[in-house]
Chains A and B, each alone.
Chain A
Amino acid sequence: MRAAVIQFPGSNCDRDMAVAIRDITGAETTLVWHRAGELPDGLDLIAIPGGFSYGDYLRSGAMAARSPVMQAVIKAAERGVPVLGVCNGFQILTEAGLLPGALMRNAGIRFVCRTVGLTVENNRSVFTNGYLADELVQIPVAHHDGNYFADSETLDRLEGEGRVAFRYAENVNGSARNIAGVLNAGGNVLGMMPHPERMTEAVHGGSDGRRLFEGLLRQIA
């Protein structure tokens, strides 16, 4: 298995993501700088990590979504390569048009940084097959702009097509229909605000994030 983690100026979960992928899946994992015009050959997974790319200038994820490497990420996603965006990565994927909707300022204005319960709504994707349907898992969030918005038609379509991957058990940020993570139509792009890479070992306080990477390995290897 081969994986790439994209680094933007201001990414800060890039190394955590690379360590989680490498340790859990054994993938040969490359960090790719945002100015790269192309990605390494033969990738099985692309991860867009959390952080504050470009200092959240203009809108969270807006500048990163227009950087050169994202054209290559979009092409890879269109070919069916799994793309995982976590936190700022989710914001970047919506700004790049790979996922519908937008992540707005948290409804309570405050930065939310704690472990939250999530229900697994779709356990059939390449990312979520390590979980049971409707399972309640504990994964940390740390964001200011995690308030998922889409128009009601889009929300109905996402729900109807099973593209809501995770929902918050408690609505921590005002997200429409408690949505914490969504899939693209092809099921190979997942954006989620919670950080599975921060919940992969007992020392993290739990390992519910680990099964996302184990599930990826099972589907890809």
Chain B
Amino acid sequence: MKTRIFVTLKNGVLDPQGKAIHHAIEGLGFSGVHDVRAGRLIEIEHEPGVSKADLEAMCTKLLANMVIENFEIEQA
């Protein structure tokens, strides 16, 4: 079984990488892009028995830094 975990910066936390990507997109000539924020996708292959609570604990204990990041768990 596969679970996808999306880790993103919290609202209000400045994202220098997103800003640089935004500049690069504009540099390529694309217009109309208002903002870019970069995050991280983590795919976990696991037994069906691994609970949602365990996946959440993985996120809060390691995969996301709760000072600056949020996470979303997406199960197929």
Contact = CB atoms under 8 A, between A and B. Distances in A.
A105 B67 contact: no
A101 interface: yes
Contact of A106 (B13, B16, B68): B16
Per DSSP, chain B at the interface is helix
A contacts with B: majority SS: loop
Contact of B16 (A66, A101, A105, A150): A105
Contact of A102 (B14, B19, B61, B67): B67
Contacts of B65: 59, 62, 95, 102
Contacts of B1: none
A101 B67 contact: yes
A109 B38 CA distance: 13
A95 B68 CA distance: 11
Interface of A: 58-59, 62, 66, 94-95, 100-102, 104-109, 147, 149-151, 174
11 contacts: A58-B62, A101-B67, A102-B65, A104-B13, A104-B14, A104-B68, A105-B16, A105-B17, A107-B14, A109-B20, A174-B14
Interface of B: 13-14, 16-17, 19-20, 61-63, 65, 67-68
